Structure 1
């Protein structure tokens, strides 16, 4: 869109948008599981709070997209949704249950329950003191306290790695209030990335294949933000008013995460507002491309009275990885096209791999914290995850064209078997890092293969709806079920057994999926024509970035 070696200012704005949007998201939301855990939530409650977002986003994004098309107020909706991210996320740091008591060590193994005393310096508990440890999981009962009263303290619990004691009814009230904030906030903030992706696709026009190059800056921002926030969080041990005098070893003040999130989103809000207020210039080629963006988001300061540009050819392949769904997909019609066993098994694997993404996103850091992991480790692991996805961006196209879709999905399932079983048997948290490179295959490459498969497997008239169904199965139902059902499993069996169980299930699904597709000796045709290769390339281009959120 510009001369060789020149930097297109419009695309620079796009790259900046994605970088700060996903760096804001990555500085807070990957840590939500351990944040809710420190607040006294159990795994089931954490899973529901985190897993609700994919469901609400998938159901509400088409509604807002249709509203933007009908009212031609895309820019207003984009700014409003960015504001909603701040308005409904910051209160998550303010809503907390009240402390009713504190765990005070008596010796290395015993403890008493004492009254909360704010703004007082207590002697921190010795590292050898483990506190309530009558069972695994979090929160823990305080029934083994020396001064425990079965009548008055029956519903008292304390989070793992914390000295604060809460009442279970108070935690439940906080949970329902947080759930209300999450549902309402996600409903109003869902159109942000959908409108942005649609505008970028329009801006790129015939160069829509370059979308992945823009979105990759989102992965970069996520990884870097999580890395630096993790280091800062490790040293964030000062509380303005701690009810028990001060934090325990793994107790952190997550205010820095919320502050980083809000600052980056405020920058996004100002950036979008200012970039949309630029004065008009002569209608150069770049300005004509910008005019298309103006039509998408109704940007002021542009010559909207100019004749509309010639319609661009349909960008069906480019949209397979961008969140541009403007209407609810035709589920029944699409599923009828995938009634045969092989196609149905593909859709099931797409959902099942999304389930693993939701499970690992919600409970990986929870598990690592249980075995002694620190926020610095979380940041390093996040960097490795996104590096692996960036590498997958470069090699997914070659992998799909050489191996075929089914074999890539089998490779992803095998990677999940090794990764989840490996994590479940870890005793030293830092040893998780070598297997974090597998995420490029289990997330990005698998998503690219799914997109490519459905892009040329569905009839042309249903291709858009088929992509919507795939996004719903993988990123909506898959990730949501992974967080919610995974939370129920973690609450009942713990993270170790849950991860091991999912790893075993991946092995079973791998065997069944391979049998269904290879029993006739050649289910997956490795040869692709030119159009199919283009579809695979387009899917691979945006896969790493699309799997970031």
Structure 2
């Protein structure tokens, strides 16, 4: 049997690979990068609460514009460049002002500095095991003159007024860091003053000697003592916050537009072969999985010895892939010939159909579960790792990298490839029920697994819960879309899934995670998914009985219901022969 390649679809496959390869190096790290810019977790959480809302608004708006003015490809290409530019601008976003202030004091006749930063025992043990000495530059307020003269023998500051500040370099051995109640005490082994004088400082226990600004060579120590210099309420009014939020919104809108319009173009290229969508989209999973893992390792390599993580490679790699995607996408042979004569009436007709409403509710349900998984699966992994002990915590980032690789390469890729066969075999409606069932089982397993490394085999189910789901959602949306409204329908469905479902799931998941903890949160969501699965099966069966139709996989086509069929006939009579209707549905949907 000779295998033939559809050359018309090659640029589309390349687009999915390149666009996801361009998103993978940046998107997973944006929240961490925002924290590195000085924003607290509360501020970053607020950003990620409103970002999906902009995606919800952007997808149907730009989809409608693309359909109305027949400019799908132009908007598609423009959004790719917009995303690349937004990523680069985010990289150069101004940092919020941060401070590193410690109390210079004595403890057990030893001089050092205190920090009230929270730290877990594993992190402290790791620091001690480094057995290194780190240089910290300190600028302190006025220090008692008797200490300078009698204990430190600094004659320069004896007999006259001491300076308002004293700057020196302190050597702090990591193996001598102590945890005292809620404070960390960093012992100072010696001090270098005026680039030449090395002292072995001593003192007597008493009140803090001074308050000092400090900057250490070691990234871990710096991260422990760094605090944002302004309160969260003030951060919302800072220009740094609005710059970063604006750039992230632009990037989010760009990505949302590329995804929704890109899928619409793909389905138009496929024609009646809707079930072949998975063969195209699987290249996106490969691009994301391969490049995200490589970029993560590259960030660690290039950040060795630095005070902060170096994300230069991630952002420039992303921009390079997105620009390449733009150049490749120029080769997509796509012409948009059909256009809806009454956009709102056509979309409104769909929203009056009960099957479409059930489909959109299904999108919201899956979106809520996806929001929980996107935002809190790594939280759960790290919480379980802490319970397992320091050895598990030490390798938790490696575990998270493996989780992403298994999800995309081993999970999503084969199921995108098989999605068309599965949906043709069991129909779209039964595929929807299968996805809900898989999510329920997956979340319940999360809630009972004690060791996070046991998550790895479970991650293969990503093929069902996202790969098969996404192929089903987009292909169903393409099939039910009226002629000329393909991008509008993809945007509407994407907005419902992400803007409503993912946003609500992230918010609700965060509330339950705080109230009952990670395992119970995933268990509750898992049980809810199974209940919705049963309801979905019963509702679809009831709709079949009400419509008086006997559906089977061997039948070629039937309309969704009598009322919608009558509406379509009236609509075609009104339009004459100027367009061909697309309301009659292939029976493999139901």
TM-score band by shorter chain is 0.5 to 0.7
Which of 379, 383, 397 is 2:405 aligned to?
383
Distance 1:102-1:220 versus aligned 2 partners, 3 A rule: farther
Quote the residue 1:334 is aligned against: 350
RMSD: 5.1
1:528 equivalent to 2:584? Answer no
SS of the residue 1:434 aligns to: helix
Question: Over residues 112-144 of structure 1, what are the superposed CA-to-partner deviations in whole Å (9 max), with x where a residue is unaligned?
Answer: 2699869x997585699789989xxxxxxxxxx
Which of 252, 270, 279 is 1:213 aligned to?
279
In structure 2, what is the Cα distance between the partners aligned to 1:537 and 1:47?
43
Q: Is the 8 A contact 1:104 1:111 kept in 2?
A: yes
Question: Over residues 165-212 of structure 1, what are the superposed CA-to-partner deviations in whole Å (9 max), with x where a residue is unaligned?
Answer: 224336544544432222234345543344444444455556666444
In structure 2, what is the Cα distance between the partners aligned to 1:477 and 1:514?
23
In structure 2, what is the Cα distance between the partners aligned to 1:488 and 1:498?
9
When normalised by structure 1's length, the TM-score is 0.66
Q: Is the 8 A contact 2:275 2:475 kept in 1?
A: no
Q: Is the 8 A contact 1:234 1:376 kept in 2?
A: no
When normalised by structure 2's length, the TM-score is 0.62
1:476 equivalent to 2:499? Answer yes
Which of 522, 535, 556 is 1:499 aligned to?
522
Quote the residue 2:463 is aligned against: 440
Q: Is the 8 A contact 1:231 1:375 kept in 2?
A: no
Distance 1:526-1:79 versus aligned 2 partners, 3 A rule: closer
Q: Is the 8 A contact 1:419 1:438 kept in 2?
A: yes
Quote the residue 1:179 is aligned against: 245
1:365 equivalent to 2:378? Answer yes
In structure 2, what is the Cα distance between the partners aligned to 1:198 and 1:131?
60
1:266 equivalent to 2:323? Answer yes
In structure 1, what is the Cα distance between the partners aligned to 2:492 and 2:7?
35
Query: Which residues of 2 match residues 276-291 of structure 1 at below 5 A?
Result: 290=333
| Unaligned runs of at least 5 residues, structure 1 | 135-145, 150-157, 277-289, 297-310, 317-325, 541-549
Whose strand proportion is higher, 1 or 2? 2
Q: Is the 8 A contact 1:26 1:222 kept in 2?
A: yes
Distance 1:399-1:201 versus aligned 2 partners, 3 A rule: closer
Task: Choose 98-107 or 258-267, whichever is displaced more.
Answer: 98-107
In structure 1, what is the Cα distance between the partners aligned to 2:429 and 2:327?
45
Distance 1:123-1:15 versus aligned 2 partners, 3 A rule: farther
Q: Is the 8 A contact 1:39 1:159 kept in 2?
A: no
SS of the residue 2:553 aligns to: coil
Query: Shift of the alpha carbon at 1:360?
Result: 1.4
Query: Shift of the alpha carbon at 1:231?
Result: 2.7
Which of 363, 366, 369 is 1:356 aligned to?
369
Quote the residue 2:62 is aligned against: 64
In structure 2, what is the Cα distance between the partners aligned to 1:378 and 1:486?
20
Query: Which residues of 2 match residues 138-149 of structure 1 at below 5 A?
Result: none
Distance 1:49-1:492 versus aligned 2 partners, 3 A rule: farther
Which of 49, 53, 56 is 1:55 aligned to?
53
SS of the residue 1:97 aligns to: coil
1:191 equivalent to 2:207? Answer no
Q: Is the 8 A contact 2:85 2:319 kept in 1?
A: no
Quote the residue 2:214 is aligned against: none
In structure 2, what is the Cα distance between the partners aligned to 1:459 and 1:67?
15
1:31 equivalent to 2:29? Answer yes
Which of 306, 313, 320 is 1:256 aligned to?
313
- Return the index of the structure with the highest Cα Rg: 2
Quote the residue 2:228 is aligned against: 166
Distance 1:230-1:58 versus aligned 2 partners, 3 A rule: same
Question: Over residues 192-242 of structure 1, what are the superposed CA-to-partner deviations in whole Å (9 max), with x where a residue is unaligned?
Answer: 3444444444555566664442332111111111221233344453375x3
The count of aligned residue pairs is 463
Distance 1:128-1:61 versus aligned 2 partners, 3 A rule: same
In structure 2, what is the Cα distance between the partners aligned to 1:455 and 1:205?
10
Task: Choose 460-469 or 430-439, whichever is displaced more.
Answer: 460-469
SS of the residue 1:213 aligns to: helix
Query: Shift of the alpha carbon at 1:23?
Result: 0.8
In structure 2, what is the Cα distance between the partners aligned to 1:350 and 1:187?
20
Distance 1:65-1:441 versus aligned 2 partners, 3 A rule: closer
Query: Shift of the alpha carbon at 1:485?
Result: 4.0
1:112 equivalent to 2:115? Answer yes
In structure 1, what is the Cα distance between the partners aligned to 2:359 and 2:269?
33
Distance 1:491-1:72 versus aligned 2 partners, 3 A rule: same
SS of the residue 2:552 aligns to: coil
Quote the residue 2:80 is aligned against: 82
Q: Is the 8 A contact 2:55 2:498 kept in 1?
A: no
Distance 1:495-1:412 versus aligned 2 partners, 3 A rule: same
In structure 2, what is the Cα distance between the partners aligned to 1:423 and 1:493?
15
In structure 1, what is the Cα distance between the partners aligned to 2:521 and 2:60?
34
Q: Is the 8 A contact 1:412 1:441 kept in 2?
A: yes
Task: Choose 404-413 or 215-224, whichever is displaced more.
Answer: 404-413
Query: Shift of the alpha carbon at 1:21?
Result: 0.7
Query: Shift of the alpha carbon at 1:22?
Result: 0.7
